[in-house]
Structure 1
């Protein structure tokens, strides 16, 4: 409960996961049928990169603000993310207002779509409620994000996405994430899932991937963007995502997008790319 994302908003990890999130949502928008999104660890939804918290760390300077400076070299897959930033900042060349995953999702929803947000932190959930207080398409719940999966899945909609982005404060967060995915997938096997994880201790990430493979869940893709060779476990070395039931051509798209983001971030030469943990047949890749 001590983690506050305001200190890290707009950093390199945010850029990676939010660019991918925006692309996935753009693909969901490609069909007329309504979609549902559950965000299990929602945060406050919107961040001011000029406030004291963000300025103290300066992470946005090495993250989204650096990417914006090199945006012209990014592939088309980055366009949904870049367009959101431009809309939120009214076309300004410097990004001050940064959207968390709730606001990214809301900005890409249509009139027939629905968003449910879970947030446990008492102050943050009130900020989130204030942000969406007049929005009938968004519901905000003060609850443990892990419990929200059982409480709110399956939705009435057949299509949609579950975003699982915990703060990774607990030592067993990887195990909890795997257990949560298994529970959620049993309840809603047709949904898409986007799980974020930090790349710190590479051995821990390998164990996490193995646990995911052992679930037998098919169509599970891992994607990573690292800014170091992750040989130290005392710092964040990269950002990782697990995509379950990803859109068509996700592997090809991310194989172009992630290296381009790494270059725009000037984020070093750490590992970057994606691989299937289990393919469409459920077999390990």
Structure 2
């Protein structure tokens, strides 16, 4: 309950996660049928990068600050950077869109967004952010209970974003268990699970747990900006994607190296691979 994302908004992990999220949403928009987005750890939706908490850490300077106002390092960043620029029409970077704002920017009239946030203050802020928006529903709830309550969606197509703060020591295990339960309820949905790269052994255990569930068609995408020589800092960011859109793997193999070159200062790299192929 103590985690507040404002301290980290717009950092390299956000950039990687949200750039991939925007690509998935762009793919969902390509078909006329309606879709639903379920965001299980929604936060407050939009972040003021000039606020005291954001200025205290200045993590955005190594993330979106390296991209905003500069030529895009790759064309596939267009959906993501377009959403950021839409919140900053004067050309000065102040507001950063969290995943709720990114998803809302991609919705059409027939689409729907379900936002879940456990922190009571953040949930109130989120409800105020989307007050009167008929395409958006906000719930104060535990993320893993929400997977049971809101799946499968009536639209039959869409995306589930599971993006925990990783405050709990068993979060990787909860993430794998939550995915398995959600996939049983809705096996055709797209799932994007974010995870931090601090201790590589923990990541391997998580990926092994997901593989053992037998869920097919699981893609792994990772971006690191520090050498993985310590578990005391955030060295990188990963996304485990179930039922990824067609050609997303190829697009990420082009995008992530370009994004790494634009963000990295001390090392790292990028990787895209299949954890489990399609049956």
Deviations 1:98-136 (A, max 9, x none): 000001000110000001011010100000000001101
Aligned partners of 1:18 and 1:106: how far apart in 2?
Answer: 13
Q: In the alignment, which of 221, 232, 236 is matched to residue 234 of structure 2?
A: 236
Aligned partners of 1:203 and 1:244: how far apart in 2?
Answer: 21
The question of 1:18 aligning with 2:35 is answered: no
Contact 2:226-2:264 within 8 A present in 1 as well: no
The secondary structure found in structure 1 opposite 2:62 is coil
Counting only pairs closer than 5 Å after superposition, residues 117-196 of structure 1 correspond to structure 2 as 117-196=115-194
Runs of at least 5 residues in structure 2 that lack an aligned partner in the other structure: none
Correspondence for 2:254: 256
Query: 1:69: how far off?
Result: 4.8
The secondary structure found in structure 2 opposite 1:247 is coil
Deviations 1:146-186 (A, max 9, x none): 10000110110111000000000000000000000001000
Runs of at least 5 residues in structure 1 that lack an aligned partner in the other structure: none
The secondary structure found in structure 1 opposite 2:67 is helix
Correspondence for 1:102: 100
The secondary structure found in structure 2 opposite 1:107 is helix
Contact 1:67-1:261 within 8 A present in 2 as well: no
Task: Give the ranges of 4+ consecutive aligned residues of structure 1 lying more than 4 Å apart after TM superposition.
Answer: none
Correspondence for 1:75: 74
| Root mean square deviation of aligned Cα | 1.0
TM-score normalised by structure 2 residue count:
0.98
The secondary structure found in structure 2 opposite 1:255 is helix
The secondary structure found in structure 1 opposite 2:60 is coil
The question of 1:38 aligning with 2:9 is answered: no
Contact 1:262-1:268 within 8 A present in 2 as well: no
Counting only pairs closer than 5 Å after superposition, residues 54-73 of structure 1 correspond to structure 2 as 54-70=54-70, 72-73=71-72
Q: Say how many residue pairs are matched.
A: 279
Aligned partners of 1:228 and 1:210: how far apart in 2?
Answer: 24
TM-score normalised by structure 1 residue count:
0.96
Contact 2:123-2:139 within 8 A present in 1 as well: yes
